[in-house]
Structure 1
Amino acid sequence: MEDIKRKIAKGELKSVNNTKGKAPFWVKFDIITNLQNEPTGFVQCALCKAVLSYDSKKTGSSHLRRHLQRSCGGCGSGTGGGDRQQSVSDFLSFAKPPPERMKSEVANKCVNFCCVDIRPFETVAGAGFRELAQELINVGATHGRISANEVLPNPTTISRRCKMMASEMRGGTVEEIKQVMSLINIGMTTDMWTDDFRKMSYMAITCHYVTPTFKLKRKLLTTTCFPNHARTGDHIRKALQQQLVTVLGFDASIMNNVVWVSDQDASVLAALRPYRHLACQVHLYNTVLRHALNTDELAEAVPEVAETLLAVKALVRYLKQSGLASQLPTTVKQMAETRYNTVFLTLELIQSVHAELQELLQSRDESARLRNVSPDVLAFLVEFLRPFNDAQKELEGDKHPTLHLAVLWANKLKSHCQPDVADTPSQAVIRQRHLDWLTKTIEIQPLHKIAIFLWPKFNQLRMFTPAERTDIQQHVRILINRFRVGEVAAARWQEHTGQSDVSSAAAAGPAPKRRALEEVEKAWENVREESEDADEVQFYLSLNPTMEADGRDLLSWWKQHETTFPLLARLARMVFSVPASRSSSERAFSAAGRAIGERRTGLAPETVDAILFLHDAK
């Protein structure tokens, strides 16, 4: 074997990767060949450089496995690897499945864990718990049998580490966002929430942006405690500025470089009035449903509809209080006062289990509870409200762009609410009420229109009038021209100073003094008209773009066409950074409700902030 090593050292033989070996252990062995790449009957361990004989037809490969498990693993059998400790990945790659007895004992310990600490059984299925369990197994594999008390930290250490980890990760997130904002504006959402135990108010700020590689990202930046007495427009605006500028370190101009999305809370609207703001589409549709399905008004106009809605609500309450809900095949949900898409979900559920409900209530002599639930009204409401539920589900997404969907859903729902000759009088009233509230509430802003224009298969804007199309195209030209002007200014600065970026320009000293007539000159100097070939908007309109699948992977399309439409692609990154709803910030408080429980009311606000940030980051 030593002779083989010497020949390898002299270059008479060589070791090459075994690309034909399919077993996992072959990644740790090289085949020794002569200079003509012919096998010599030997292999070399890539970990300890030991040479072993190998012939696929004579020796087999079991001794190679044993080498990795024993000799190279640190047991020391004189192969040159005895002083090397086996890595956890090496150990696990050859570990045998645990016996049933061991798995049964682990299951018993899981039961003890859940019962002693009063934890939900689902805890052991959580990604965080499994990551911890795997790390403890790795520690045991590396260091042997040791006490858990020597490894597990105390709660105070975990609390401190939680805030430290959040601070470090948040710093990296802020730097990434700053880099993105050097070229484009971005979107931010905000929402407020009050915990049920200490009645403390929290404000969440979530950032939405598209990276230079056209990946949409959503990051919860902060969840800050907010005094209840200070929920005024001025206080909220100052709190936003303090968090973004003072705490997170953004430039003081950030509020002007963000498109904010929020609900219609009067204080929040007052706070964001000086800045660019879009109303949350999901909240607007919730407002439409809340007014259109107002049971007090329906009782006068269409009493049979009001009776059905009230009867369903009372029925669900009875099912939950009596325990009968557990006997149904589907989980029963009550209509929430704040989220009116739950009206559809509750009605759909009652319709789907109507037969089972009849049988169940008859067995308890409670059939009267279904008497005011009209099957015809129930069926109509379910089908009528389904598109509203679909709209809210699509518009509250944050893994893909959603702003461009606002135009289509507004048009679809208004069309859906138009009179139908097949409607009964009560159905016609329901349609008209929803149409009236859609007309009053839903307003399509210029940014929504630009977003639909940047959806390639809708760039002809056929849902708008010719005058509206011209306005949208002109607005797009103005926006991309600002990019062009900025690039020209940067190029002139670089040519004048020899500096390539803002930081190096600052290091070079103050900017050259501006001429007194510079602004007037720029306003009146000759302008070279761009040819149609140089007009990205015109070229974009002349295309007949095709998109894969359902045509909704917008960012991939713009990434593929960035070289063809550099300015429009940059505009697409900016526009699609803005979400259609503020649901991301709202979801942060769903996690907050789980973090601040009856047994965890003592959490400091900064700890809550750290927990929610790390939860969102995972």
Structure 2
Amino acid sequence: MSSSKRDIEQKKKQVIEKLKNGEFIAKVEPPSSSHGSFWEHLLRIKCSNNEYQPFVQCTLCHEILSYSISHGTSTISYHVKNCLDKSNKLKNNKTISSYLSKSTDVKVTVDDKRSITIACAKLCSFDMRPFSIVKGRGFTFFCQSLINLGYQYGTTKLGPPSASSLLPDPTNISRTVSQIAEEERERLKNILKVDLQHVKMVGVSTDYWKNSGTSESYLTINIHYSKNEQNVTYMLRTSLFAQSKTGDNTRQRIFSVLLSYEIDPNQHHVVYITDNGSNLVCGLQGEVHLRCICHCLNLSLHNGVSLCPNLELLIKSCQELCVHFKRCEMNQLLSTTLKINVDTRWNSIHDMMQSISLNFHKCEDLLLDRNEIYYLDDINRKLLSDLTLSRSFRNEIYADTRKIIKTIGIQQQQSSSTTATTNSNKPPKKKKTDLVMESDVMQEFAGHVDSDCDDNSDEIDRYINSKLSFSNDDTLLGWWSKHSLIFPQLTLLARSLFGIPASSATSERVFSSTGRILEKRRQLLNPDIVDDILMIRNFRDA
């Protein structure tokens, strides 16, 4: 090969490299002095300052050709003609092999291979697939199809690399999963460090799970809180529990995991949510511990089956009584109206029973006068009162609410912020005026509050006596956020409480995922890898 040809070939390689790096671009821009139809299949190459290079690229075979205006266009037009002739011959003879790359000259950079490895690691974690999926023939064919498609529509056509040259080894994916999980743990630690500064109360749900394949036990620990009117949940750790599942060992493991995320249980208001397992109950003695509502309901229904016929008859009789009073217009003779049960209204059965319990004596007198006492034959007043909240019990709830507000520091925070704003520049006593103040507008927007309420009265009493509306478009946290100007302490309390789940369903969902990861063919998977995969899944929607 002559030196001039070697120079041209060397320059072609440089052009290819600069096209890959983006320093050069290929565009359909035929020279104004040439009008041949072959230019439809050629791309002229330009540098970043729009200066044309002495090369063109064929869109049919993607080859880089030397070209300059002074040398004419006979060579490149002949090249296009040959390419068109070849493509016409092969147009109707395509086989499966024609879609597969035959070029093995394309080199894949280390960074590109690393990005593919990370993508495969996330695929295995998000979709809970085995690492060996990358060696499957179907997966390889799928990747090759994507590569060919990208090659077909790509702008820089240098020949597609084969899928086997891109896909990593399963062991490499396993290591990458561990690396990504460690990065996500640090990310989660930083998220919690920031979020928990503004959270009054957090929930921690935990539970045990046994791997049916190996009979090994796993313990999962999850954290819950509310942020920006949304409930937030993260899986902190799901690890093999090789020790005896005693209460003390369980407590030590839970506290150890919390401390690894710089969450000191003695410095935060933590509410633990578990099922009724004796080891969990024993291990969390002395802590604020909620029993999973799902387990409690299951136990209640299991033990209360014998009461079901009586309850069904009681509900039916109460409904008939309320309908009768409404039809006969006797509600106006009662101190409070009897409320009819509506299937689509939340808690309406309880409201119906309570309305009858409060007016029972008056209903009895009215029915006696009308000789209709038979409406009360199947209404057991003792059972009715047991199923409704008494006034004393309601007062206990109000008192407990005040204690919680004081315990978690909401009252102190509100009083300090209020004092800071009022004492700095105490305004004179307001006179009655017809002007509309900003606070009035915000209260009107949030909902109607009785005008007789004293601003300095107890906030819980004001909430009980207020007439507030709740639209179907409101979420619970959204509703409280809208009313935060009226009920600042209760809003903070609601945000704290609603962030804590009433059940340990999160643990069950984690174990459902764990069961899919540790399927029968993956029983030798390292428990640390299981925890790594679940950690990465924390951020699958991010």
- TM-score between both structures, scaled by the size of structure 1: 0.45
Deviations 1:339-367 (A, max 9, x none): xxxxxxxxxxxxxxxxxxxxxxxxxxxxx
CA distance in 2, matches of 1:289, 1:81: 82
The answer to whether the 8 A contact 1:187-1:577 is kept is yes
Moved more, 270-279 or 169-178: 169-178
CA distance in 2, matches of 1:269, 1:107: 63
**Which residue pairs with 1:251 in the alignment?**
264
**Which residue pairs with 1:544 in the alignment?**
467
Which of 486, 492, 495 in structure 2 is aligned with 1:570? 492
State whether structure 2 residue 395 is matched by structure 1 residue 470. yes
Structure 1 residue 580: deviation in Å? 1.3
CA pair 489-136 structure 1, distance change in 2 beyond 3 A:
farther
> Which amino acid is 2:494 matched to?
A
Which of 584, 591, 598 in structure 1 is aligned with 2:506? 584
CA pair 82-602 structure 1, distance change in 2 beyond 3 A:
farther
Structure 1 residue 263: deviation in Å? 0.6
**Which residue pairs with 1:234 in the alignment?**
248
Structure 1 residue 531: deviation in Å? 5.8
Give the secondary structure class of the aligned counterpart of 2:521.
coil
**Which residue pairs with 1:8 in the alignment?**
none
The answer to whether the 8 A contact 1:177-1:209 is kept is no
CA distance in 2, matches of 1:131, 1:468: 65
State whether structure 2 residue 185 is matched by structure 1 residue 215. no
Structure 1 residue 167: deviation in Å? 2.0
CA distance in 2, matches of 1:576, 1:135: 48
The answer to whether the 8 A contact 1:209-1:577 is kept is yes
CA distance in 1, matches of 2:222, 2:180: 19
Structure 1 residue 584: deviation in Å? 0.7
Structure 1 residue 467: deviation in Å? 2.1
Give the secondary structure class of the aligned counterpart of 1:218.
strand
**Which residue pairs with 2:298 in the alignment?**
286
**Which residue pairs with 2:360 in the alignment?**
none
> Which amino acid is 1:159 matched to?
S
> Which amino acid is 1:251 matched to?
D
**Which residue pairs with 1:615 in the alignment?**
537
Q: Which has the larger radius of gyration?
A: 2
Give the secondary structure class of the aligned counterpart of 2:239.
strand
**Which residue pairs with 2:185 in the alignment?**
170
Structure 1 residue 252: deviation in Å? 5.0
**Which residue pairs with 2:371 in the alignment?**
none
The answer to whether the 8 A contact 1:221-1:613 is kept is yes
Q: How does 1:335-374 map to 2 (within 5 A)?
A: none
**Which residue pairs with 2:442 in the alignment?**
none
CA distance in 2, matches of 1:541, 1:611: 48
State whether structure 2 residue 191 is matched by structure 1 residue 179. no
CA pair 615-288 structure 1, distance change in 2 beyond 3 A:
same
> Which amino acid is 1:604 matched to?
N
> Which amino acid is 2:50 matched to?
G
The answer to whether the 8 A contact 1:210-1:573 is kept is yes
**Which residue pairs with 2:106 in the alignment?**
none
**Which residue pairs with 2:450 in the alignment?**
none
Structure 1 residue 280: deviation in Å? 0.6
Give the secondary structure class of the aligned counterpart of 1:594.
helix
The answer to whether the 8 A contact 1:222-1:609 is kept is yes
CA pair 598-252 structure 1, distance change in 2 beyond 3 A:
same
CA RMSD of the aligned region, Å? 5.2
Structure 1 residue 574: deviation in Å? 0.6
Give the secondary structure class of the aligned counterpart of 1:220.
strand
Structure 1 residue 207: deviation in Å? 1.2
CA pair 197-277 structure 1, distance change in 2 beyond 3 A:
same
Question: Once the two structures are aligned, what percentage of the paired residues are identical?
Answer: 26
Please, which runs of 5 or more residues in structure 2 have no aligned partner? 1-24, 30-39, 54-92, 101-128, 313-345, 355-382, 421-452
Give the secondary structure class of the aligned counterpart of 1:599.
helix
CA pair 291-479 structure 1, distance change in 2 beyond 3 A:
closer
Give the secondary structure class of the aligned counterpart of 1:617.
coil
CA distance in 2, matches of 1:177, 1:132: 41
Deviations 1:302-339 (A, max 9, x none): xxxxxxxxxxxxxxxxxxxxxxxxxxxxxxxxxxxxxx
CA distance in 1, matches of 2:272, 2:144: 38
Give the secondary structure class of the aligned counterpart of 1:165.
helix
Deviations 1:80-111 (A, max 9, x none): 3989xxxxxxxxxxxxxxxxx99x99999xxx
Structure 1 residue 177: deviation in Å? 2.7
CA distance in 1, matches of 2:142, 2:349: 44
The answer to whether the 8 A contact 2:414-2:489 is kept is no
**Which residue pairs with 1:194 in the alignment?**
210
Q: How does 1:501-520 map to 2 (within 5 A)?
A: none
**Which residue pairs with 2:50 in the alignment?**
80
The answer to whether the 8 A contact 1:533-1:539 is kept is no
Q: How does 1:73-472 map to 2 (within 5 A)?
A: 76=46, 80=50, 141=154, 145-182=160-197, 183-211=199-227, 213-227=228-242, 229-245=243-259, 247-251=260-264, 253=266, 257-291=269-303, 408=347, 464-472=389-397
CA distance in 2, matches of 1:82, 1:564: 70
Structure 1 residue 581: deviation in Å? 0.7
CA pair 276-134 structure 1, distance change in 2 beyond 3 A:
farther
**Which residue pairs with 1:341 in the alignment?**
none
> Which amino acid is 2:412 matched to?
V
The answer to whether the 8 A contact 1:70-1:76 is kept is no
**Which residue pairs with 2:412 in the alignment?**
485
CA pair 565-487 structure 1, distance change in 2 beyond 3 A:
closer
CA pair 136-224 structure 1, distance change in 2 beyond 3 A:
farther
Give the secondary structure class of the aligned counterpart of 2:205.
strand
> Which amino acid is 1:576 matched to?
F
Deviations 1:491-522 (A, max 9, x none): 999xxxxxxxxxxxxxxxxxxxxxxxxxxxxx
The answer to whether the 8 A contact 1:532-1:538 is kept is no
The answer to whether the 8 A contact 1:262-1:278 is kept is yes
Structure 1 residue 151: deviation in Å? 2.2
CA distance in 2, matches of 1:132, 1:185: 51
Structure 1 residue 257: deviation in Å? 1.9
Structure 1 residue 291: deviation in Å? 5.0
Give the secondary structure class of the aligned counterpart of 2:191.
helix
CA pair 118-610 structure 1, distance change in 2 beyond 3 A:
closer
CA pair 288-488 structure 1, distance change in 2 beyond 3 A:
closer
Deviations 1:226-246 (A, max 9, x none): 01x51000110011111111x
CA distance in 1, matches of 2:524, 2:230: 38
Give the secondary structure class of the aligned counterpart of 1:230.
coil
4+ runs deviating over 6 angstroms:
104-108, 129-140, 489-493
Deviations 1:34-87 (A, max 9, x none): xxxxxxxxxxxxxx9x9x9xxxxxxxxxxxxxx9x998xx9549983989xxxx
Structure 1 residue 136: deviation in Å? 9.7
